[in-house]
């Protein structure tokens, strides 16, 4: 079975920023062994499947609504040495990213309740929207810093996310398509990511107004403010790497093109902006087609 076709933006905070019982739990998890980076998508799918076999409302919780002990222990860990730093620094290590599956599911439920039609809600939900909304809000309110550590998208990577990273520091592992070791990701210091996205949001607003890519940049920047200044940010293609050939992965210039667009906007070079947008559209068009047929 293929990995879920999901891409991720993750925040890894210093273990020292987690206080009290949560900090103690995370230390124990690290000693016992955290979730392997390459297995993250598979682990999330397992948690979801398990929830479908019980009466649990959300993945990562018990039938009585309490967090499942196993999901609380689902954590990703990296070393500060694995993070590219320009002007900012990260650490001390280890850097920890709780997978927050239950809280992320609650956030998705809130989004569904806000955007779905009454008919669809009636067909899909076993409880009243009001009670589900209250439960989801309670779960999100219990997050230590008020926010989940991971945001994800299916079938594509939002182009504004590439503005957070230095294109030259991409990590690529070419392995068979079904091998979890096949990966593409960037890791950047939080301070550098914030500086980069602030510049991108300013240029985007000047060019496109406050909608579209500007809104994504503003929302992402606001999300990053919830975390420790010495954290790291990771942009990960996740399971999308299964949909590209080896040549496509190695020749992918998406991060270069997005950052090139920002440079071209700053230089008032409309032709360069248009050329870079065309490259991005052509590269990601196949993902849009796959999503449409699924």
Distances (CA, A) of 134 to 70, 109, 125, 128, 131: 24, 11, 14, 10, 5
Question: What was the pLDDT predicted at 94?
Answer: 94
How big is the chain by its Cα radius of gyration, in Å? Answer: 20
| Structure confidence by residue, pLDDT tens digits, 126-164 | 777 777 788 777 777 777 777 899 999 999 999 999 999
Longest dimension (CA), the chain: 58
Bridge partner list, 150: 10
Name which of 134-138, 166-170, 252-256 the model is least confident about: 134-138
Q: Which of 41-45, 54-58, 164-168 has the highest mean pLDDT?
A: 164-168
């Amino acid at each position: 079975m293929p990995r879920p076709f999901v891409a991720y933006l993750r925040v890894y905070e210093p273990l020292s920023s987690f206080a009290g019982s949560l900090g103690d739990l995370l230390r124990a998890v690290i000693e016992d062994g955290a979730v392997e980076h390459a297995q993250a998508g598979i682990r999330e799918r397992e948690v979801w499947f398990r929830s479908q076999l019980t009466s649990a409302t959300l993945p990562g919780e018990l039938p009585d609504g309490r967090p499942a002990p196993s999901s609380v222990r689902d954590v990703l860990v990296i070393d500060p040495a694995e993070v590219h730093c320009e002007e900012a620094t990260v650490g001390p290590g280890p850097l920890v990213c709780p997978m927050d599956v239950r809280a992320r599911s609650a956030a998705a439920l809130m989004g569904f309740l806000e955007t779905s039609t009454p008919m669809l809600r009636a067909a899909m939900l076993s409880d009243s929207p009001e009670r589900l909304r209250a439960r989801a809000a309670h779960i999100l309110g219990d997050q230590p810093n008020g926010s989940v550590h991971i945001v994800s998208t299916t079938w594509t990577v939002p182009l504004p996310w590439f503005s957070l990273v230095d294109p030259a520091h991409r990590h690529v592992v070419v392995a068979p398509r079904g091998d979890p070791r096949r990966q593409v990701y960037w890791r950047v210091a939080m301070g550098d990511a914030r500086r980069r996205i602030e510049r991108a949001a300013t240029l985007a607003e000047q060019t496109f107004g406050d909608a579209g890519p500007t809104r994504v940049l503003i929302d992402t920047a606001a999300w990053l403010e919830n975390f420790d200044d010495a954290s790291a940010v990771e942009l990960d293609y996740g399971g999308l790497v299964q949909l590209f050939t080896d040549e496509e992965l190695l020749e992918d210039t998406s991060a270069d093109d997005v950052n090139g667009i920002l440079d071209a906007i700053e230089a008032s070079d409309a032709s360069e902006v248009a050329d870079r947008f065309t490259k991005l559209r052509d590269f990601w068009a196949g993902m849009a087609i796959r999503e449409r047929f699924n």
